[in-house]
Amino acid sequence: MNKNSPIGIFDSGVGGLSVAREIFKQLPGEDIIYFGDTAHVPYGEKTVEQLISYGDQITQFLIEKGAKVIVVACNTSSAVSLSHLLNKFNISIIDVISPSIDIAIQATQNNKIGIIGTVATINSGMHKKLLVAKKPDLEVYPVACPKFVPLVEKGDVAGEEARQAAYEYLMPLKEKGVDSLILGCTHYPFLEKVIKEVLGDAVQIIDPALETVLLTKKILKEQNLLNEQEQGKKVFYVSGNPDSFLITGEKFLGDTLQNVKKVTL
């Protein structure tokens, strides 16, 4: 493993692209290998055993492809399989939940924080546990949003169905008076328009991508593994249909996604 090795990044599908685009912004010289486990999306409805097994196989695959660091660009895997991955693999592994905690605490003025995520993430209680451990007087309101991920996978992020789902999930949070909302699923930044339509400008929307990539940069720097070449290569693998990943991915990230290959783990 050296500076020229790629950053490995994974999610159940296109959601991790919200983290990948931040890598392209902050670390343009890095090569990346992205794995979208589209044969198993949505992760939010899978069991703990399944999620651990998927995370294990994907991490193994990315390491075999030469990854120098793994970014778990999925809150569901971060909540459920991170400790297994940290115990098993001898490589830096960065999750997307811990980086959201401090910024949410800094953002709130009234101590009322909303969290939206998949059913598995919300059931894990991970965000709430980490938030309250740092600031016991917080009022934390978690809401599972199972309709969101299938809409984002289809690229249907601004239509009537997306709007209706956003109203259904977010109006109760608005009524509770939250002033900050953690996007606890990497698919949700692509729904920002409809989320903002419901919550308005007074609620701060927290996308953990920025802090996650700042942390990745810090770790690579400490390990002398930062790649400062001009333009990194980007390779995308999926376990399901490469064409639908490409079509939705291009909607969000433009033509960065030319290279999508199917693999079966």
Helix, strand, coil shares of the chain as percentages rounded to 5? 50, 15, 35
Closest separation in Å from C-beta 135 to ligand DGL: 23
Contact (Cβ atoms closer than 8 angstroms) between residue 166 and residue 195: yes
Which CB atom, from 186 or from 239, has the smaller least distance to ligand DGL? 186
Closest separation in Å from C-beta 136 to ligand DGL: 26
The per-residue DSSP string of 134-181 comes to H-TT-EEEEEE-TTHHHHHHTT--SSHHHHHHHHHHHHHHHHHT-SEE
Active-site pick, 7, 41, 52, 74: 74
- Amino acid in position 172: P
Token readout for 117 is 């995520």
* CA-wise closest residue to 183 among 165, 195, 172, 200: 195
- 186 is an interface residue for ligand DGL by CB under 6 A: yes
- Enumerate residues 63-102 that contact ligand DGL by CB under 6 A: 74-76
- 51 is an interface residue for ligand DGL by CB under 6 A: no
Q: Can you tell me which of 52, 140, 143, 149 binds ligand DGL, judged by CB under 6 A?
A: 149
Q: Can you tell me which of 6, 9, 12, 169 binds ligand DGL, judged by CB under 6 A?
A: 12
145 classed as catalytic? no
**Contact set with ligand DGL (CB under 6 A):** 11-13, 15, 41-44, 74-76, 118, 121, 149, 185-187
